[in-house]
Amino acid sequence: MTAFSCLRWFVFALNLFFWIAGLGTLGVSLWLRFDPAVADYMRINNGLENFYTAVYILMAVGVIMTLLGFLGCWGAWRESQCMLVCFFIVLVVVFCLELACAILAYTHQETVKRYIENSMYDTVYEHYYRRPEYTEIFDRIQTGLECCGVKSYKDWLSSYFSSEASGRSELGIGAANYGRVPQSCCNEDGLRDYPADCGKSFDKMELYTYEPFLHTKGCSEALYEKVYSNLDVAICVSVIIGALQLVGMVLSMLLCCWISSHKEDDRKTGGYYH
């Protein structure tokens, strides 16, 4: 096998990897966009433009990488200079998009975390139980992520839901540690042992008494972990893919120049360069 054939097959294999990586990237971005827990949260909190911007950029990268892999494979297989030049240009665009997406995701971690916490506090304290759409969606979040409140179930004790109008007057209790949480906060044990009144400070006992029957993890942490889970792994994979893309840029130009050079020699000698 000649050096030219080795280079051509290497470029072909590299682009096959890009095609598979593009499908994987597209799959991850679609999961982030349409995951039920994330989608529910975004329905009641539409201020995270930066998060969805990063997701849409990632989606575009996935689509372009899939097409990129096809272009590169076809160009290497057919020895098409036009395809290889297109591959190089698109690869540069994809690399820039990936870099922008990575910067957005990395630099806005704390912003996303603070926004999730603040907007969840707003929902728990002000909207839950007053507005049916907020109540339904936040119940789904608590059930789906097995969480309760913003940082813990204790957040509900200061909420409208657990106030005089909706909780404590019914219980006849006025102390700060008495109140209720939504039934969606209850774990399997709570729903089994207290199917009718799980979450209430019944029997005039403080709510923490029933902690074994509640989800103890806060929903802000649970949602943040879901969005940013395995971020370190994703960054490492992105660095590897970025390095391979740089290699792909160099090799595609080498192959393109080699094809051009050999075609010129063929025209002079009438030979065949394979």
Neighbours of 131 (CB within 10 A): 14
Number of domains making up the chain: 2
- Are 66 and 101 part of one and the same domain? yes
Query: What's the pLDDT at 188?
Result: 93
- Are 9 and 103 part of one and the same domain? yes
Two tokens, residue 71: 């272009």
- Are 106 and 158 part of one and the same domain? no
Q: 179 near 168, Cβ under 8 Å?
A: yes
- Are 106 and 234 part of one and the same domain? yes
Task: Tell me whether residue 123 is in a domain.
Answer: no
Query: What's the pLDDT at 187?
Result: 93
- Are 145 and 87 part of one and the same domain? no
Task: Tell me whether residue 42 is in a domain.
Answer: yes
Q: Which residue has the tokens 């179930």?
A: 153
Task: Tell me whether residue 60 is in a domain.
Answer: yes
pTM of the full structure: 0.59
Task: Tell me whether residue 118 is in a domain.
Answer: no
Residues belonging to the chain: 274
Task: Tell me whether residue 125 is in a domain.
Answer: no
3-state SS class at 160: coil
- Are 177 and 258 part of one and the same domain? no
- Are 13 and 106 part of one and the same domain? yes
Question: How far, rounded to the nearest angstrom, does the alpha carbon of residue 202 sit from its chain's CA centroid?
Answer: 40
Nearest 5°: the CA angle 232, 234, 235 is 65
- Are 246 and 145 part of one and the same domain? no
Q: Inform me whether the pLDDT recorded for 273 exceeds 60.
A: no
Q: Which domain holds residue 35?
A: 3-112+229-269
- In this structure, of 102-116, 134-148, 152-166, 199-213, the range with the lowest mean pLDDT score is 199-213
Task: Tell me whether residue 274 is in a domain.
Answer: no
Q: Which residue has the tokens 């922008």?
A: 100
- Are 78 and 136 part of one and the same domain? no
pLDDT band, residue 205 (cuts 50/70/90): low
Q: 30 near 52, Cβ under 8 Å?
A: no
Residue 186 φ/ψ, nearest 5 degrees:
-80, 140
Task: Tell me whether residue 158 is in a domain.
Answer: yes
Q: 221 near 151, Cβ under 8 Å?
A: yes
- Are 42 and 69 part of one and the same domain? yes
Task: Tell me whether residue 127 is in a domain.
Answer: no
Among 204, 221, 238, the domain boundary falls at 221
Neighbours of 254 (CB within 10 A): 13
Q: 164 near 129, Cβ under 8 Å?
A: no
- Are 213 and 243 part of one and the same domain? no
Query: What's the pLDDT at 168?
Result: 52
> For the chain, what percent of residues have pLDDT higher than 70?
78
- Are 212 and 261 part of one and the same domain? no
